[in-house]
Amino acid sequence: MNQNKNGTKDNKKYILMSICSVLVFLFIWELVTDVLGIFKSTMLPSPVKVFGTFIDKFTNTKPDGATIQVHTLASLKVALSGYLIGVGIGVPLGIAMAWFRKVDCFVTPLFDLLRPVPGIAWLPVLIVFFGIGLLSKAMVIFLSAFIACVINSYSGIKNTRMVHLWVGQTFGATRSQLLFKVAIPTALPMIFTGLKVALGASWNALIAAELLASTKGLGFMINQARGIYRPDIILVGMIAVGITGAILGYLIELLQKLVMKRGWRQ
């Protein structure tokens, strides 16, 4: 009870401090731009100006041809399609690599060879093959998500404790019962970590891909703004990227809480 009170008190203090830190940051920013004029508005626009542009961007399609919602949705569409395919293939493959010795021997060396290549490094070659449309970007996202999913599912399954398998075996469990009732539950926390890492990686890879080659999306919007010296739109784009990424992270956190009950959280 007492501890609980302290807990909420600490919590309040924490929230207060966070708000302060953001306010101080905005204050200094405003100070060095509009108030003191250390940075010109063509280099670093003031927070007031950025906020104005942000609101304006919801309705204004200039100069990049679309509103911010349209760009965000375009980015999300690519990111999520690549992500879901990456998860759909990566998680089962990681599990299979860890569980079946033959798959492990056959796939793991190849995978270890490709793993250090960042997803975005595939983009030039993908553009050559597929152009700058949805497909090549989705492929980059797919590769980024896929690798994170494989690695985490693989080590999750490898974490399975021998004694848990033995319990199943002595009760006469089949191989597939051991996989579904022992190994996969053991791996679930790691699999979720993989899903989270993969989501972050997908989003990052997408923005990078859009900066390099695209016709819409947040990365495209940022790149266009750079070309016409509109730093306020660049900052608006960055903020939109940050907020969307944070919301995605929050959603997957929520999913994890729904799926995984207490026993998995130690």
Q: Which amino acid is located at 208 in the chain?
A: A
Q: Does 118 bind other proteins (CB under 8 A)?
A: no
Rounded least distance, CB 91 to other proteins, Å:
18
With CB under 8 A as the contact rule, the residue among 36, 109, 110, 171 that binds other proteins is: 171
Stretch that binds other proteins, among 27-35, 140-148, 175-183, 203-211 (CB under 8 A): 175-183
Q: Using CB under 8 A as the criterion, what x/- string covers residues 135-164 for binding other proteins?
A: ----------------------------xx
By CB under 8 A, tell whether 261 contacts other proteins: yes
Minimum Å gap between C-beta 266 and other proteins is 6
26 binds other proteins, rule: CB under 8 A: no
Whole-number minimum distance, CB 105 to other proteins, in Å?
Answer: 21
Only segment of 75-83, 138-146, 176-184, 196-204 that touches other proteins (CB under 8 A): 176-184
> Environment class of residue 139 by beta-carbon count within 10 Å: exposed (0-12), middle (13-18) or buried (19+)?
buried
Backbone φ and ψ of 244, nearest 5°? -60, -45
**Which residues of the chain form beta strands (DSSP E)?**
none
**Contacting other proteins (CB under 8 A), which of 18, 21, 159, 174?**
174
CA 127 – CA 19 distance, rounded (Å): 44
Give the tokens for residue 61.
């399609």
Cα distances (angstroms) measured from residue 152 to each of 156, 157, 183, 184:
6, 9, 13, 12
Of 168, 197, 211, 252, the one binding other proteins (CB under 8 A) is 168
Minimum Å distance from CB 185 to other proteins?
5
- The 8-class DSSP code of residue 120 comes to G
Yes or no: say if 217 and 210 are a contact pair by the CB < 8 Å rule. yes
CB of 29 closer than 8 Å to CB of 39: no
Q: Is residue 172 part of the contact set for other proteins (CB under 8 A)?
A: yes
DSSP letters, 129-153, are: HHTTSHHHHHHHHHHHHHHHHHHHH
Binding site for other proteins (CB under 8 A): 163-164, 166-174, 177, 181-182, 185-186, 188, 261-264, 266
